[in-house]
Amino acid sequence: MTQVCLVGNEDVNLRYELLSRETARNALATYDLREPFVNTVAVDTVSLGAAVALLNDLNWYLVRFADGAFVRDPSISETEWLSRNLAAAIRDDDVAPEETGRFLKVYGIVESAKTSDADNEATSEGASPPDTQATEANSPPELVEPMLLTRTGDTIPEYDLQAVDETLIVRVTESEFGA
């Protein structure tokens, strides 16, 4: 399965914006929507071509409401994602998959706070935390501040913009890297 992950702009709720509009809702109707990171929408597609086609169908909404669109195809990499432009270039045979690992955009992943200080105090005093805490405890991790890196060997430089739990690697085109 090829995965697509859409990352929303900071000032919008991406899932709401997509599902509140008929054309986007219809394009996503056959997919099982997930939220692997805060303010993201992810789906599984059958192929790289289907993933690029879905992104093309959603283009009007992506331009307005998304900071990024990533595709992960296991035939290219099990762990690294492709930018939308790079996925389209591979699908169109403009770039060979084995030539895609040099230019990277690396996002930090920060686990969401499970409980607030006030909830910790209430729990330590024997009181139950508020009901709203149940949704926060299950909130997904957050993608933070991407940095551009160039892979020169088998390893990449460490993400150093802030303390993070993990990183998400997105392969990008040379023109996206230089922009």
CA 173 from centre of chain? 17
pLDDT at residue 33 is higher than 80:
yes
Least confident span in 37-41, 91-95, 153-157 = 153-157
Helices (H), 81-162: 84-91, 117-124, 133-137
pLDDT at residue 92 is higher than 70:
yes
Q: In the prediction, which pLDDT does 136 show?
A: 55
Per DSSP, the chain holds a count of helices (H) and strands (E) of: 8, 7
Distance CA 80, CA 45 (A): 16
Q: How confident is the model at residue 122 (pLDDT cuts 50, 70, 90)?
A: very low
- Which pTM value belongs to this model? 0.84
